[in-house]
Structure 1
Amino acid sequence: MERVVQFTGPRQVEVVEQSHADLPPGHLRVRTRYSGISAGTELTAYRGTNPYLTRTWDPEGRLFRDGAAGIEYPVAGWGYSEVGEVVEISPELTGTPGLPRPGDLVWGIWGHRSEGIVPVERMIGHTLPAGLDTLAGAFARVGAIAYNAVLAGDIHLGEDVAVFGQGVIGLLATRLAQLNGARVTAVDALDGRLETAKAYGAHHTLNARTDNVAERIREATAGSGADLAIEISGVYPALHEALRSVAVGGRVVASGFYQGDGVGLRLGDEFHHNRVQLICSQIGGVPPQLAGRWSVERLQQTFLRLVTEDQVDVASLVSHVIPAADAADAYVLLDERPAEALQVVLEF
């Protein structure tokens, strides 16, 4: 039997068993080792705030439509950071260039389930690099999200960059921005995460609850403000403070998944008067100016290469490895006690 983690309603989690499905043509079967939980996007489905629960996304019109929900409870197999072992390949695929073989460890997206049936086109080139720890493969997607935000920010050597939110993706963005030549100020409301940010390359740290963040950033930059701010927490007041923190004509990359109305965001203030550039980064694509050379696939592969080369540390970000049978406890931890956790991983 296959085990699948599903949300049966807001803050309701269960692990159900399903019969093994036959492998259709053009697919691989992967036995899951680890599946990382997203503390941002995934928690919106867990909490019941995800816009797909009340509206439908029209991919042709590129608009959300009121009316029918795009997804409904139970939401089964949510998740996008998996790593596992190939156990079966559809026979007609034998010999396909770049295709993983049975026994290979691979990374990809097939959700919180003990096995995934994945189309071949999504697995070409997804064999785990030699020498890379298996658990590190679960960071391909979250690493790509951080990488995408850094590319969208168009950092130049020596620029001052503030990264708002020092969860897993924010810490990775801090490290990648530093590798890109920035002097990074890390901002978060949790002192423990700010301490971790120092190890990931932050030059300064500021506590969003106790520091006047924008004022402190301007003091540290001779009054001008940061060249760039990356907001990755998905909290509207943090986005507003990021807009307050950058220089005239500065850039703010909004990479969080913001929920509901923008309470705490006042676009008539510094955003308007300082002519700030507000840029959206979302992992459905890469910055338009880079689309000729970059892709989401390249983001993921390059991030894993950086991990393999020891330029980015992901191992120390894993705070909890929890058996999949106890998935409900993992979500309670992330939802109610975020100070105690960074990357929570389900083990199958």
Structure 2
Amino acid sequence: MGTVVQFVGTRRVEVVETGEEPLPPASLRVRTMYSGISAGTELTAYRGTNPYLNRTWDEQQRLFVPGDATSPYPVVGWGYSEVGVVTEVSADVAGKPGMPAVDDVVWGIWGHRSEAVVPASKLDGHTIPPGLDPLAATFARVGAVAFNAVLAAEPHLGELVTVFGQGVIGLLATRLATLSGARVVACDTIPLRLATASAFGAVAAVDVRETSAAELARSLTDGRGADVAVELSGTHAALHEAIRSVTVGGRVVAAGFYQGDAMGLRLGEEFHHNRVELVSSQIGGPPPRLAGRWDQDRMNRTFLALAADGAIDPVALVSHRVRVPDGVAAAYQLLDERPGEALQVVLDYTES
């Protein structure tokens, strides 16, 4: 028997048993080792604020439209940061170039499941790099989210970048922007995150409750302000401060998953007077000007290569490894109610 994590209501999570799926053609069976919980997007589903719970995304129109009136619950296997061992490969894809073999460790997206049958096309080339800790491979997706935001920011050597929100993705963005040659001012309210940002290369770590990031950015640049800001907290007040922090004609990359109305965002102030460029970054696609060269798979692979080379250490962000099934409900409660006590929470299936 396997297990899967599901949301059965607002702030209600259960781990339920599942039967073994048959292996159809063009598929692989994977036994999960680790699965990372997203403290951003995934918590919106846990809290019941995610738009997919009460509206429908119309792919053709690219619009959210009124959804089905029936309850969206249970929401099954939401996770998107998995790593596991291939245990079975369908005969029609076994041995094909790039295709994982039995006993290979692979990364991908199959949700918080102890075992999954995954289309072979989704795991083509997804064997983890040699020497990489499998735990680091759970960061492939969140690493790509951070990578995409930095690509959109386009920091140049010696420029000042303010990064708002130093959760896991914000910390990875801080490190990636630093590797790009920028000087990063990391902004948050949680001491653990700010201390980690300094360890990841930030030249300043700002508690925005005590210090104005916009004023600090100007003090570090002879009054100009930051060249670019990346907003990853998903709060509108932080987006407003990110806009305040940049110079005239500066760029702000909005990469957080914003919920509800935009309270605290005042577009008639610095945004209007400094003619700030505001761009959206979402993992569904790279910046349009880079779409010919970059895609999600390249971002995933590049991030994991940087981790394998030691340029970035995502495992350092793992604050909790939680056994499945016993600690799962408490893990979500921790991230929801006491975010200052955790960075990356990983579900550990290795002894389930």
TM-score, length-scaled by structure 2: 0.97
Tell me how far apart the structure 2 counterparts of residues 48 and 246 of structure 1 sit (CA, whole Å): 34
2:30 and 2:85 in contact (8 A); partners too: yes
Name the counterpart of 2:138: 138
Residue 316 of structure 1 deviates from its aligned partner by 1.0
Contact preservation (8 Å) 1:55, 1:69: no
Report the residue type matching 1:43 in the other structure: L
Q: For the Cα contact (< 8 Å) 1:57–1:70, is it kept in 2?
A: no
Q: Shift of residue 70 of structure 1?
A: 10
**What letter matches 2:52 in structure 1?**
Y
Aligned to 1:28: 28
Contact preservation (8 Å) 2:95, 2:101: no
Displacement of 1:45 in angstroms is 0.2
1:27 aligned partner, one-letter code: S
Matches within 5 A, 1:1-348: 1-68=1-68, 72-325=72-325, 326-348=327-349
Provide structure 2 residue ranges, at least 5 long, that are not aligned to the other structure: none
**Counterpart of 1:335 in 2: which secondary structure?**
helix
Tell me by how many angstroms 1:71 deviates. 8.2
1:167-224 CA-to-partner distances (Å, cap 9, x unmatched) read: 1111110010010010110000112211111110100111111112211211221111
Which deviations, in whole Å up to 9, do the C-alpha atoms of 1:116-175 show, x marking residues without a partner? 111111101100111111111101001111000000011111111000011111111001
Q: Which amino acid aligns with 1:177?
A: A
SS in 2 for 1:93: coil
SS of the residue corresponding to residue 322 of structure 1 reads strand
Aligned-pair distance for 1:67? Answer: 3.5
Seen in structure 2, the aligned counterparts of structure 1 residues 192 and 127 have a Cα distance that, compared at 3 Å, is same
Partners of 1:203 and 1:117 lie apart in 2 by: 45
Distance 1:257 1:95, change over 3 A: same
Letter aligned with residue 14 of structure 2: E
In structure 1, the residue corresponding to 2:97 is in which secondary structure? coil
Cα deviation code 1:218-276 (max 9, x no counterpart): 12211111000000010110001000110010000011000011111111111111111
Q: 1:69 to 1:50 in 2, by over 3 A?
A: farther
Q: Equivalents in 2 of 1:322, 1:102: separation in Å?
A: 26
The answer to whether the Cα contact below 8 Å between 2:55 and 2:64 also exists between their aligned partners in 1 is yes
Task: Kindly report structure 1 stretches of 4+ aligned residues shifted beyond 4 Å.
Answer: none
CA offsets 1:281-327 (integer angstroms, 9 cap, x no match): 10011111111111100000000000000000112100000012121
Identical counterparts, % of pairs: 63
In 2, Cα distance between equivalents of 1:199 and 1:222:
26
Aligned residues of 1:146 and 1:172 also touching (Cα < 8 A) = yes
Please state how far the C-alpha of 1:92 moved relative to its aligned partner: 1.1
Q: Deviations over 1:86-124 (max 9, x none)?
A: 001111112211000000000000000001111111101
CA contact (8 A) 1:84 1:106 kept: yes
Letter of the structure 2 residue corresponding to residue 265 of structure 1: L
SS of match in other structure, 2:38: coil
Q: CA RMSD in A?
A: 1.1
State the alpha-carbon separation in 1 of the partners of residues 290 and 69 from structure 2.
34
> In structure 2, what is the Cα distance between the partners aligned to 1:200 and 1:104?
31
Q: 1:152 to 1:71 in 2, by over 3 A?
A: farther
The aligned amino acid for 1:341 is A
- Give the alignment's TM-score, normalised by structure 1: 0.98
- Contact residue 85 and residue 106 of structure 1 kept, 8 A: yes
Alignment CA distance shift 1:299-1:70 (3 Å): farther
Note the residue ranges of structure 1 that are not aligned, 5 or more in a row: none
Partners of 2:324 and 2:235 lie apart in 1 by: 29
